[in-house]
Structure 1
Amino acid sequence: MTQPDYLNELFIAARTHRFYTDKPVNDDVLRQLYEIVKMGPTESNFCPMRLTFVTSQESRKKVIDAAGEGNRPKIQSAPVVAIVAHDIEFHKYVPNLAPQLDAQAVASQPEEILAKKAALNTWLQTGYLIVAARSLGLDCGPMIGFNASKIDESFYANSSWRASMLINIGHGVGGDKVRDRSYRLKFDEACEII
């Protein structure tokens, strides 16, 4: 059995990219990307992920200042850096996103439970973001090596958004700029059927 082309494009042959060509990513493509991502399932359709697509040099400098040393050249190379954030006040949207739920009951949960729901569901949505970007012919480089407090201070000081991850987005440079594929755990190493 051969792998369908889309599986190769999205998973099997797709790679994490560290460096990018200078080909820009149009704002319309970023809008299209979000329109795809928002359709992925989350717990009770809470959809707490928020995105800041950084394209200007002024904003990029703030991201670079908050990034780990090894991630700075990667950020400089990418035409777009997505700050993936989670909204700690996602519950304000429950009446529209999850009308089947008691919005007041959701909002009255302890703050730490709401924060955990926001963070975990955002990580789930981030997976959709990477796969959706690949489906549009884009390459990605996710990074967690950054100072989230600095990002929050620079971009989200007066909001309920909190930085979770950075993802470089663009058209990746291949060849020796892409590492050889690393080992992946076998089924029996990572799964069990009970």
Structure 2
Amino acid sequence: MTLQLAPQEALDIAFRNARTFNKFTDQPVTDETLREIVDLMKWGPTSLNSQAGRFVFLRSKESRERLRPALSAGNLEKTMAAPITVIVAIDNEFYEHLPTLFPAYDARPMFQANAAVAEKTGFRDGTLQGAYFIIAARMLGLDCGPMAGFDAAKVDAEFFPDGKWRTNFLINLGYGDAAGNYPRNPRLSFEQTTQIL
């Protein structure tokens, strides 16, 4: 029997009953709530504690209009209407923070000397942090609509012209309106996705 530390309700909120939201209510998302999400999300593990993820919150109409040219037609209307859109980005020079985040030894040279390893590590750990962000937001009562339908090069040119950060994916964030949800899609079974060796 599995020892369960989290109540069923928490598992439902984070996973089983959670949905990708396309529509949100008018309830505002405060700066304090955004800070709570990030302060919770940051405790998820990343390699060498790299914490390569970066988050840009687009709340104002002006900031959202800057994003408009990069959005696919299917994501345009819902993104313009969402309370906040999050650009989940990756710090291309995440390793510069390693002396503070991973003081056991100086890990910077392994990334400074190998751009491919730095890119792969940054992408993996930044993506993990994006997933942690979604779970943290759900646990704090918000809903998410993660998206990949956009032109990342256009987002980078508009928001990260110095090239230090690069776009990974987008999340529409707020208090969801279930009226905009599609029917729940099936998931693959344990037998279809796993091996025990």
TM range (shorter): over 0.9
Tell me, in whole angstroms, the C-alpha distance in 1 between the residues paired with 2:163 and 2:170. 18
Asked if 1:38 is matched to 2:51, the reply is no
- Deviation, structure 1 residue 159: 4.5
Give the conservation status (yes or no) of the 8 Å contact 2:79–2:85.
yes
1:106 is aligned to 2:110: yes
CA contact (8 A) 2:58 2:84 kept: yes
2: distance between equivalents of 1:74 and 1:190? 32
Name the aligned partner's letter for residue 131 of structure 1. Answer: I
Correspondence for 2:144: 140
TM-score normalised per structure 1: 0.95
CA distance in 2, matches of 1:17, 1:114: 33
- Could you tell me how far 1:104 is from its partner in structure 2? 3.8
**TM-fit CA distance, 1:48:** 0.3
TM-score normalised by L of structure 2: 0.94
Cα distance between partner residues in 1 of 2:134 and 2:171: 8
1-structure distance, mates of 2:94, 2:121: 9
Equivalent residues in 2 for 1:1-194, closer than 5 Å: 4-175=8-179, 177-194=180-197
SS in 2 for 1:145: coil
* Superimposed CA distance per residue, residues 104-124 of structure 1 (whole angstroms, 9 cap, x where no aligned partner): 423433112101110111111
Structure 1 runs not aligned, ≥5 long = none
Return the offset for 1:63: 1.3
Structure 1 contact 142–165 (Cα < 8 Å) conserved: yes
Measure how far apart 1:23 and its partner are. 1.1
User: Counterparts of 2:57 and 2:80 in 1: how far apart (Å)?
Assistant: 14
Q: Residues 129-174 of structure 1, C-alpha deviation per residue, up to 9 Å, x if partnerless?
A: 0000001100000001111111111111124100000000001111
**Gaps spanning 5+ residues in structure 2: where?**
none
Q: Post-superposition shift, 1:39?
A: 0.8
Contact in 2 for aligned 1:91/1:106 (Cα 8 Å) = no
Q: What is the letter of the counterpart of residue 65 of structure 2?
A: K
More deviation, 1-10/107-116: 1-10
Deviations 1:67-92 (A, max 9, x none): 11100111012101000000110010
Runs of 4+ in 1 over 6 A off after TM superposition: none
Give the aligned residue type for 1:81.
Answer: T
Structure 2 distance, partners of 1:158, 1:144, is 23
1:159-190 C-alpha deviation (Å, 9 max, x unpaired):
41000000000011113x11111110000101
Pair 1:107–1:8, CA change in 2 (3 A): same
Percent identity of the aligned residues?
39
Q: Is the 8 A contact 2:111 2:117 kept in 1?
A: no
- Structure 1 residue matching 2:177: 3-state secondary structure: coil
Equivalences, count: 193
